[in-house]
Chain A
Amino acid sequence: SQKIEQNSEALNIQEGKTATLTCNYTNYSPAYLQWYRQDPGRGPVFLLLIRENEKEKRKERLKVTFDTTLKQSLFHITASQPADSATYLCALGSSSASKIIFGSGTRLSIRP
Chain B
Amino acid sequence: GAVVSQHPSWVICKSGTSVKIECRSLDFQATTMFWYRQFPKQSLMLMATSNEGSKATYEQGVEKDKFLINHASLTLSTLTVTSAHPEDSSFYICSAPKTSGRWNEQFFGPGTRLTVL
> Nearest-CB distance from B21 to chain A (Å)?
13
**Total number of A residues with any Cβ neighbor in B under 8 Å:** 24
- Known A-B contacts A9-B41, A102-B44, A105-B43; the reply to A46 vs B107 at CB < 8 A is yes
Contact yes or no, B113 A41, CB < 8 A: yes
- A100, B106: Cα distance in complex, Å: 9
Q: Is B54 an interface residue (CB 8 A)?
A: no
The closest CB in chain B to the CB of A51 belongs to B104
Q: Confirm or deny: A16 has a beta carbon within 8 angstroms of a beta carbon on chain B.
A: no
Q: In whole angstroms, what is the CA distance A97 to B57 when docked?
A: 13
Tell me how far the C-beta of B66 lies from the nearest C-beta in chain A, rounded to whole angstroms.
21
- Annotate B105-116 by CB proximity to A: 1 below 8 A, 0 otherwise: 111111101000
Contact A45 B103 (CB under 8 A): no
| Chain A CB within 8 A of B77 CB | no
Provide the bound-state CA to CA distance between A9 and B54, in Å.
39
Please measure, in the bound complex, the distance between the C-alpha atom of A43 and the C-alpha atom of B109, giving whole angstroms.
Answer: 6
The answer on a CB contact under 8 Å between A93 and B110 is: no
Cβ-defined partner of A44 (8 Å) among B6, B41, B46, B108: B108
* Least CB distance, B22 to chain A, in whole angstroms: 14
Give chain A nearest CB distance to B56 CB in angstroms.
Answer: 13
Q: B49 at interface (Cβ–Cβ under 8 A)? A: yes
Given contacts A49-B104, A93-B103, A93-B104, A44 and B93 within 8 Å (CB-CB): yes
- Within 8 Å CB of B44, what residues of A? 44, 89, 102
Q: Which of A32, A44, A93, A98 has the most B CB atoms < 10 Å from its CB?
A: A98
Contact (Cβ within 8 A) A102 B104? no
The residue from B4, B103, B113 contacting A97, defined by CB atoms under 8 A apart: B103
Q: Which residues of A contact B41 (CB under 8 A)?
A: 9, 104
Given A49-B104, A97-B103, A98-B49, A43-B42 contact (CB < 8 Å): no
